[in-house]
Amino acid sequence: MPDGERVAGEGARDRDGDRDGDRELPQSASTPPTASRLAAVDSMRVIAILAVIVIHVTPFTHGAPPARIGLEWNLPTIVNQLARFAVPCFFVLSGYFWAKRTAGPVRRWPVTRQMLQRLLLLFVGWSLLYTLPWDSGRLMRNWPASYGDILERNLRWIGSHKLLVALQGTETHLWFLVALASAVGISTLWLRWGGWRSLLLVGVVLFALAMLMRPYVKWPIGIPVRFNPRNGPAFALLPFALGIALAFRASSPAQSPGAWQRWGLGLWLTGILLSAAELTWLRVSYGRSLAQDAVFSTMLCGLGAACFALGNPAWLARSRLAQLGPLVLGIYAVHPLIIDLVLPQLPRPRGVLADLLTVALVFVLSWGVSSLLARGRWTRGLVR
């Protein structure tokens, strides 16, 4: 998500600049590319973070009896899987704008260094904050003694799970920052000596391995592991490399916005249909849950959403959601804290409207906290 809203100037294609004949974006050591915000991309990022919140709030599961996600194609399962476009979309946009900003080897290293430093600050800062107890449901059982007890257990858990904490932080959703940093680092090194096509191939191989370790683990060639392959580059590199490929090879969205919108929407819808078929086959053939972080077709959903946003459709660019775009990173970082702190104190929602209001409440409170942090001199770096 960092730097996912800025686009550099286009310019003419440079001469072949890497081993397998791929072309790189033009570079200018003295005149950096101009940058401006794409309002439709900001709007799409807000829609995507709403989808992430939906995944974590798990709406439409309350009732008598409670609806379970993943056992059948019920409403909560459908909503959960429709929302899965969000994270691949973030990675594709990050790769696209990273490629536009770097504009060749001369700019690649300083831009990458700045981005990695920022990701490290975010990861360490939020990992420290999430070390503290925030779950009000547990805290209120024996307050204030419970605070010290839970904090002590958190510290013990961190001490006994050092590798896991290094890959996903002290709160599960922080895996995104490590995955993005690994994709940026690998891409920077690979493009120094190789090209975007071979980088894309590496991403495909890693993603295929991740699928064999997770949703396809019961396949004859599945790979059982005791860790989540989502953590690290296995999930992130492919969509990030797809974003780079779009920046290096595709026509400029400004020159053919209609084509970007049509292709984006087509890829997105195709990904939804193929994902449903893929998940159904896994359920029927191998008893796998219908609720997966990703399957092969999920990548088409993220790619399609990113391409559609880059086409800058007028109605999406004019949306007021675009004004919230700069705070999406903060909303992403804050929203689990809001879920833990606020939702246990609210009545269990019953009905579709109550569930929608719960999602809206988490979003609004996360935006409010992010806005406050963005105003502070020492906290601004945690949300922007």
Judged by DSSP in three states, 227 sits in coil
How many other CB atoms are found less than 10 A from the CB of residue 18? 19
What distance in Å separates the CA atoms of residue 30 and residue 105, rounded to the nearest whole number? 14
Segment 148-205, tens digit of pLDDT: 999 999 999 999 999 999 999 999 999 999 999 999 999 999 998 889 999 999 999 9
pTM of this prediction? Answer: 0.89
Helix, strand or coil, per DSSP, at residue 83: helix
For 215, phi and psi rounded to 5 degrees?
-70, -30
Mind listing the pLDDT tens digit for each residue in 253-299? 988 999 999 999 999 999 999 999 999 999 999 999 999 999 999 99
The domain ranges of the chain are 6-130+169-382
Which three-class secondary structure state does DSSP give residue 6?
A: strand
**pLDDT band for position 140 (cuts 50, 70, 90):** confident
The Cα 181–Cα 222 span in angstroms is: 27
